[in-house]
Amino acid sequence: MARRARWFISGTGFGVGLAVWMRKKIKDRVEEVTPLAIAKAAVESIARLTDRIGDAVIDARAEAAQTEALLRKQMGLDDGTKPQVKR
């Protein structure tokens, strides 16, 4: 009889614990798909994308300036002279 009671109590405890855990997980998932939560996630995603695009533009401008300086040096434009064009 004691074995049956122990297994019944263990099973009941496990079942109640699992039910509470599942209820919390389901509640969290439902809150994730509310219109407000979806809008908030979209705004955060757009903000991250904007930051990444801004960083890419800054990097591109720096690279373009570096390349322009190198080309000007190769063409002899740094010292104020015009480039030699062969015809």
In this predicted structure, what is the pLDDT of residue 77? 81
Residues whose CB falls within 8 Å of the CB of residue 77, separated by 6 or more in sequence, listed in order: 83
Using only C-alpha atoms, what is the Rg of the chain?
Answer: 33
Q: Give the pLDDT of residue 87.
A: 57
Task: List the pLDDT tens digit at each of the 87 positions of the chain.
Answer: 888 999 999 999 999 999 999 999 999 999 888 999 999 999 999 999 999 999 999 999 999 999 999 998 888 887 655 656 565
| d(C-alpha 37, C-alpha 4), whole Å | 47
What are the tokens at 9? 């109590």
**81-to-67, 68, 69, 85 alpha-carbon distances in Å:** 19, 16, 15, 12
pTM for the full predicted model: 0.53
* pLDDT recorded at residue 55: 97
- The SS3 assignment for 37 reads helix
Domain limits of the chain? 1-31, 34-71
Neighbour count for residue 72 (Cβ, 10 Å):
13
User: Cα separation of 84 and 80, whole Å?
Assistant: 12
Predicted local confidence at residue 54, as pLDDT: 97
